[in-house]
């Protein structure tokens, strides 16, 4: 039977594929297809892992002290039994042989199937055996990881459309922003999660992957089953599970239409973004990793307006990247942009972008009640002077290879402005002492807390440029957690207070002769293009995939027609209605 699951639309387009359910804790399990010639070896790899776990469990049992409770030995018996049960061992082998999944993926797929069967059991004793099964699978996954290095893993991977496999869509309760990154070269054509809001970082990374996505769909991972056919409608924010043939045909038609539309927009790539009345507009790219510079360039971006460096800091088992490693990463982005400017934002961790392994600071942070109001972004950097200096030196050194700007997130206080600028000056001195080269670097601030937007003149006196982070500005102005799906309907970029803050920031910056840009998600949303142009914005930074759509909008806009309406829009109870009228 066909079912619809509703959520928040975050990345446009239609994806149709078979569901791959991944437990949140297992999103980082490797997912790749195994070539036909290697299938038998993959089954053997699984078998070796099983033998290793069997030996491990037997040894545990043998070494149990004499006075150990009898339940402990019985429990190990259960684990051994589950390990060899055909429902796990046999079925996992089938996922490998029939679907060509790698062993880790096959195991997690089968675990999802079995876990649901356990959940449906009446008998509470049997229901609780699910935890045992999970422990056994965990041991197997560890044994597989121990037997295979990451390099061997990626060597074995084959591309997505291998052997005419069905396309796949990912279904998960939640995906951490850092885990999303591994989908950059993904086998998935779309995804849906139970949690998240429109500008949660998971959603932002999804948009940067340019695959249809729906978040905040609450029950999705419970309703959708492994292998169901699912349509993900990233425009409407809905997933259709096991659609009828007629609905499927309708979506396939829409999919073809949107591919044609994209191909058409692609032709605008090298057209300068100029409005009908001759106003030039700068379209920049937001990137997460140096490799994204390639798509920034090919999308026709004239620079990088936001490089979110925090993604270099995530998933590193507690070890932060050193100066040299960061320097190489920034240099790679700068050289890839071939002389175009690259705006490198200093690390912005915290709130919904945690580092996975906690440093002492994060541990403190995790235990604060309001992480979005806690030790994040520039506050964290200033509390870690050595880490901050390393990053600033790495950025400055990269500026010897192209045009670089430094951008500081979440600045609100004069003391932070002073300390941030002082840290840059200190980093320059350190490089001077070492005799290392660096170029002229403009330093800017994100305007993303209401205090900064209201007190913008203070920022304009101290910084060379400003960039408006609308994602956080909306969150903090309206007191709506951007990652919380239960209040996602209140997260409203059209709120008059938000528009007034943005308009004020742009006007004051222009009056002061300072460069001003928007790098939040509003910049890439065509619903706002005209109104932002009317406010005087001439620099937009967004995911590379959004550039062509915004450019098309700009090419069709006459700003003189809009500037006269701006005051009415800003004074309206419902600005969106006025704009649409
Ligand atoms: C923003 O807040 O608008 C922004 C661009 O920064 P981030 O989304 O990384 O918080
Ligand atoms: Mg922000």
Which ligand 1 atom is the nearest neighbour of the CA of 475? Answer: 2
Average pLDDT over residues 238-244: 96
- 442-491 pLDDT tens trace: 999 999 999 999 999 999 999 999 999 999 999 999 999 998 888 989 99
Identify the DSSP state of 374. Answer: S
Residues 260 and 337 in one domain: no
Domain assignment present for residue 270? The answer is: no
Q: Is the CB of 519 under 6 A from ligand 1?
A: yes
Give me the domain span that covers residue 358: 279-580
Domain assignment present for residue 544? The answer is: yes
CATH number at residue 452: 3.20.20.60
* 543 annotated active-site: no
CATH number at residue 77: 1.10.274.10
Q: Which ligand is nearest to the CA of 467?
A: 1
* 515 annotated active-site: no
Q: Would you state the pLDDT for residue 379? A: 95
How far is it, in rounded angstroms, from Cα 484 to Cα 174? 12
Domain assignment present for residue 274? The answer is: no
Average pLDDT over residues 182-196: 83
How far is it, in rounded angstroms, from Cα 342 to Cα 333? 8
Domain assignment present for residue 29? The answer is: no
Q: Which of 111, 131, 147 is the last residue of a domain?
A: 147
Q: Is the CB of 471 under 6 A from ligand 1?
A: yes
Would you say 167 and 16 are in contact if contact means Cβ atoms under 8 Å apart? yes
Which ligand 1 atom is the nearest neighbour of the CA of 351? Answer: 10
Average pLDDT over residues 193-206: 84
Q: Which ligand is nearest to the CA of 498?
A: 1
How far is C-alpha 185 from the chain's CA centre?
13
Residues 436 and 556 in one domain: yes
Q: Would you state the pLDDT for residue 185? A: 67
- Number of domains forming the structure of the chain: 3
Residue to probe by mutation, ligand 1, list 520, 540, 541, most atoms within 8 Å of CB: 520
CA of 143 from ligand 2 middle (Å) equals 40
Q: Is the CB of 352 under 6 A from ligand 1?
A: no
Residues 46 and 12 in one domain: no
Domain assignment present for residue 178? The answer is: yes
Task: Look up the pTM and report it.
Answer: 0.84
Domain assignment present for residue 273? The answer is: no
Residues 298 and 245 in one domain: no
Q: Which ligand is nearest to the CA of 310?
A: 1
Q: Is the CB of 448 under 6 A from ligand 1?
A: yes
Residues 446 and 470 in one domain: yes
CA of 436 from ligand 2 middle (Å) equals 32
Mean pLDDT of the chain: 90
Residues 432 and 566 in one domain: yes
Select which of 79, 201, 365, 495 is catalytic.
201
CATH number at residue 233: 3.50.30.10
CA of 472 from ligand 1 middle (Å) equals 6
Residues 127 and 213 in one domain: no
Residues 294 and 342 in one domain: yes
- 104-137 pLDDT tens trace: 989 988 998 898 888 888 887 777 788 889 889 9
Residues 96 and 240 in one domain: no
Look at phi and psi of residue 243 and say left if phi exceeds 0, alpha if psi is from -120 to 50, else beta.
beta
Give the lowest-confidence range in 98-107, 301-310, 501-510. 98-107
Residues 211 and 89 in one domain: no
Give the lowest-confidence range in 91-95, 128-132, 398-402. 128-132
Half-sphere exposure of 534 (CA within 13 A, CB side): 20
Residues 475 and 334 in one domain: yes
Q: Which of 210, 240, 265 is the last residue of a domain?
A: 265
Give the lowest-confidence range in 3-7, 226-230, 239-243, 369-373. 369-373
Q: Which of 94, 120, 147 is the last residue of a domain?
A: 147
Which ligand 1 atom is the nearest neighbour of the CA of 306? Answer: 5
Domain assignment present for residue 102? The answer is: yes
Alpha helices in 307-439 (DSSP H): 323-336, 360-366, 377-383, 385-398, 414-434
Q: Would you state the pLDDT for residue 579? A: 92
Residues 413 and 490 in one domain: yes
């Amino acid at each position: 039977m066909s079912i619809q699951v509703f959520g928040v639309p975050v990345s446009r387009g239609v994806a149709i594929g078979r569901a791959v359910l991944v437990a949140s804790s297992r999103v980082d399990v490797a997912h790749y297809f195994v070539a036909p010639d290697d299938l038998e070896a993959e089954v053997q790899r699984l078998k070796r892992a099983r033998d290793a776990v069997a030996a491990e469990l037997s040894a545990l049992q043998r070494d149990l002290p004499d006075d150990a409770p009898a339940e402990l030995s019985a429990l190990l018996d259960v684990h051994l039994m589950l390990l060899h049960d055909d429902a796990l061992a046999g079925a996992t082998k089938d996922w490998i042989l029939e679907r060509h999944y790698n062993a880790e993926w096959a195991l997690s797929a089968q675990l999802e199937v079995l876990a649901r069967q356990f959940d449906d059991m009446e008998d509470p004793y049997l229901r609780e055996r699910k935890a045992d099964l999970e422990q056994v699978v965990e041991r197997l996954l560890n044994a597989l990881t121990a037997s295979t290095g990451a390099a061997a893993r990626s060597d074995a991977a084959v591309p997505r459309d291998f052997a005419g496999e069905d396309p796949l869509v990912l279904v998960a309760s939640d995906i951490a922003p850092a885990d999303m990154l591994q989908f950059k070269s993904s086998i998935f054509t779309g995804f849906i999660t139970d949690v998240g809001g429109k500008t949660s970082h998971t959603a932002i990374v999804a948009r940067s992957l340019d695959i249809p996505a729906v978040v905040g769909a609450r029950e999705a991972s419970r309703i959708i089953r492994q292998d169901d056919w699912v349509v993900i409608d990233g425009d409407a924010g809905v997933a259709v599970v096991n659609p009828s043939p007629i609905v499927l045909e309708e979506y396939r038609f829409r999919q073809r239409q949107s591919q044609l539309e994209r191909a058409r927009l692609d032709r605008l790539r090298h057209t300068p973004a100029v409005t009908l009345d001759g106003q030039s507009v700068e379209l920049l790219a937001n990137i997460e990793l140096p490799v994204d510079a390639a798509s920034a360039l090919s999308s026709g971006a004239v620079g990088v307006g936001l490089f979110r460096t925090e993604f270099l800091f995530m998933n590193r088992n507690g070890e932060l990247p050193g100066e040299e490693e960061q320097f190489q990463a920034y240099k790679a982005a700068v050289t890839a942009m071939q002389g175009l400017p690259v705006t490198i934002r200093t690390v912005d961790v915290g709130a919904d972008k945690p580092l996975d392994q906690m440093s002492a600071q994060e541990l403190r942070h995790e235990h604060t009640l309001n992480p979005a109001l806690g030790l994040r972004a520039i506050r964290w950097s200033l509390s870690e002077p050595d880490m901050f200096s390393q990053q600033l030196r790495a950025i400055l050194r990269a500026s010897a290879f192209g045009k670089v700007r430094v951008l500081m997130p979440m600045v609100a206080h004069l003391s932070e402005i002073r300390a941030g600028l002082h840290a840059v000056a200190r980093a320059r001195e350190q490089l001077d002492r070492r005799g290392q080269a660096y170029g002229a670097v403009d330093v800017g601030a994100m305007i993303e807390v209401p205090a900064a937007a209201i007190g913008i003149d203070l920022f304009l006196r101290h910084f060379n440029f400003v960039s408006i982070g609308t994602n956080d500005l909306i969150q903090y102005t309206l007191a709506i957690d951007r990652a919380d799906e239960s209040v996602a309907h209140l997260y409203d970029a059209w709120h008059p207070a938000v528009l007034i803050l943005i308009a004020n920031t742009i006007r004051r910056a222009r009056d002061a002769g300072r460069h001003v840009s928007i790098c939040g998600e509003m910049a890439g949303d065509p619903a706002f293009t005209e109104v932002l142009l009317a406010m005087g914005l001439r620099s937009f930074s967004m995911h590379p995939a959004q550039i062509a759509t915004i450019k098309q909008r700009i090419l069709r806009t006459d700003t003189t027609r809009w500037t006269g309406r701006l005051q009415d829009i800003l004074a309206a109870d419902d600005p969106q209605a006025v704009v649409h009228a």
